[in-house]
Amino acid sequence: MRTRWFVLALIALFFGAVGGSLLAPQPAGAVSKEMVELQQQVAQLLQGQQDLRSAIDSNNATLRTLIQQSLDSVGKLSGDMSAVQQSVQQVQANTGARIDSMAQQTQGISDNLQDVQARVGKLSQQLTDVQNLLQNIDAKVSGGAPAGAGTSTAPPPTGAATGGGPTTDNSGGAATPAAMPPISADTLYQNALRDFTSGQYDLARQEFSDYIKNFPSNDLASNAQFYLGEVAYAQGDFQGAISAYEVVLANYPRSFKLGASLLKKAMAELELGEKTAGVRDLRAVVARFPGSDESRRAQAKLREMGATAHPAH
């Protein structure tokens, strides 16, 4: 723009000089010399303008090339980022499936350990009862044999029961109530857990329900109730799963499955689109069971959703 104005100014000066030379009487040689100089200056200016335009055009072409290369690089980078994002999503999906499978297997192992602990507790109690019985017998023998013999022969029914041994006494006591099931609690629970882990959900639901019905005060009754929720969750009945987990939370305050029940309740709520309730229960897991595996899983889910582990104040 400055060059254009400069050229116009020189041209105006040129024409002014020409007009002045025409109006003012000057020698012919002086006029001719000034005309030649002005023509040379104009020619130089025009050449400079042409050179400047060529340089600008060259620079514009270079800039266009660089911009196109940048756009190509950005497009390639965008494609690479999309591929990486897809790979990450696939890895996350595979990892999530593996984590769910491992969590299910871990739950089964944990329940087996709890079952073993319950059995050990029962055996310990039985050993304590046997020890007390032996101490009573020793006390009676040391206190006088006739008295002990008299008590063993006086009531025939009791004498017959004790004479038959502890096994006969237990089997007779178990046969008295008509409502007692023909299968033991341990066997029923193990069968239900095996059917659940093998994917036979309908059969597992029936067996866990039978366990709760026939052994409501057993140590593993809360586990059986929790697995009723797991069966419903695995079959896509998330509302039924929430109801089953809520029974564990309400009726079994000392259950080993409180944290897992609250976590899976939150997961089921999220599956139903109840984000507010799901986030609330995930935060409750973190607050009530710090340091547990359920707390870590709840925190990971909150981070995945872009939520914090604690509500903002």
pLDDT of residue 25: 56
Residue at a domain's end among 63, 97, 116: 63
Task: Note whether residue 217 is domain-resident.
Answer: yes
In angstroms, the CA 23 to CA 43 distance is: 25
Task: Note whether residue 13 is domain-resident.
Answer: yes
Q: What are the tens digits of pLDDT across the range 223-269?
A: 999 999 999 999 999 999 999 999 999 999 999 999 999 999 999 99
In angstroms, the CA 85 to CA 7 distance is: 59
Portion of the chain with pLDDT greater than 70, in percent? 62
Q: Can you state the angle between helices 201-214 and 221-234, rounded to 10 degrees?
A: 160
Residue at a domain's end among 63, 85, 101: 63
Rounded to an integer, the average pLDDT of 37-65 is: 86
Indicate which CATH number applies to the domain containing 296: 1.25.40.10
- 147: pLDDT strictly greater than 80: no
pLDDT of residue 1: 61
pLDDT of residue 107: 64
Task: Note whether residue 118 is domain-resident.
Answer: no
Mean pLDDT rounded to a whole number for the chain: 78
pLDDT of residue 75: 80
Terminal Cα-to-Cα distance of the chain (whole angstroms)? 61
pLDDT of residue 77: 83
Task: Note whether residue 53 is domain-resident.
Answer: yes
Task: Note whether residue 215 is domain-resident.
Answer: yes
Q: What are the tens digits of pLDDT across the range 39-49?
A: 888 888 888 88
Q: What are the tens digits of pLDDT across the range 169-220?
A: 444 444 444 454 468 999 999 999 999 999 999 999 999 999 999 999 998 9
Least confident of 13-17, 238-242, 288-292: 13-17
In angstroms, the CA 72 to CA 69 distance is: 5
Task: Note whether residue 159 is domain-resident.
Answer: no
What is this structure's pTM? 0.48
In angstroms, the CA 282 to CA 294 distance is: 9
Residue at a domain's end among 11, 44, 63: 63
Residue given tokens 């089921």 in the structure block: 268
The total number of structural domains that make up the chain: 2
DSSP line for 221-245: HHHHHHHHHHHHHHTT-HHHHHHHH
Task: Note whether residue 207 is domain-resident.
Answer: yes
Spatial CB neighbours of 121, under 8 Å, sequence gap ≥ 6:
219
- 283: pLDDT strictly greater than 90: yes
Rounded to an integer, the average pLDDT of 10-38 is: 68
What is the span of the domain harbouring residue 46?
2-63
Task: Note whether residue 71 is domain-resident.
Answer: no
